[in-house]
Amino acid sequence: QVQLVQSGAEVKKPGASVKVSCKASGYTFSTYGMTWVRQAPGLGLEWMGWISAYKGHTNYAQKLQGRVTLTTDTSTSTAYMELRSLGSDDTGVYYCARGTAEADYWGQGTLVTVSS
């Protein structure tokens, strides 16, 4: 069955970077893209961007452009999301989800806390 397993919770200081991983199994990794979505505490879902697993094409949310980088490693079926220059408003749960438009399977989420 399709599974997306994300890395564990992170605590970062303002200005630092975080890199979250998402290991896929149960399907052919290169045939699907990966979307990243985040959710601030008590708020709604926010699309961050997507990456095509095969050729690495990306599409980022404009508000995160320049701070976020999505990558994949097809040899390990793993997708990565790196976010730089963290601020307190980056605190939240980060999800990977299979697909580049509407996502069918989601990872369990990774809590990123930005605090001094």
Residues that bind another protein (CB under 8 A): 35, 37, 44-47, 59, 61-62, 95, 97, 101-109
Sorted by sequence, the CB contacts under 8 Å of residue 70 that are 6+ apart come out as: 34, 36, 49, 50, 51, 58, 60, 79, 80, 81, 82
Residue 5 or 11: the one with the smaller Cβ distance to another protein is 5
Give the nearest distance from C-beta 98 to another protein in angstroms: 10
Give the nearest distance from C-beta 63 to another protein in angstroms: 8
Residue 16 or 99: the one with the smaller Cβ distance to another protein is 99
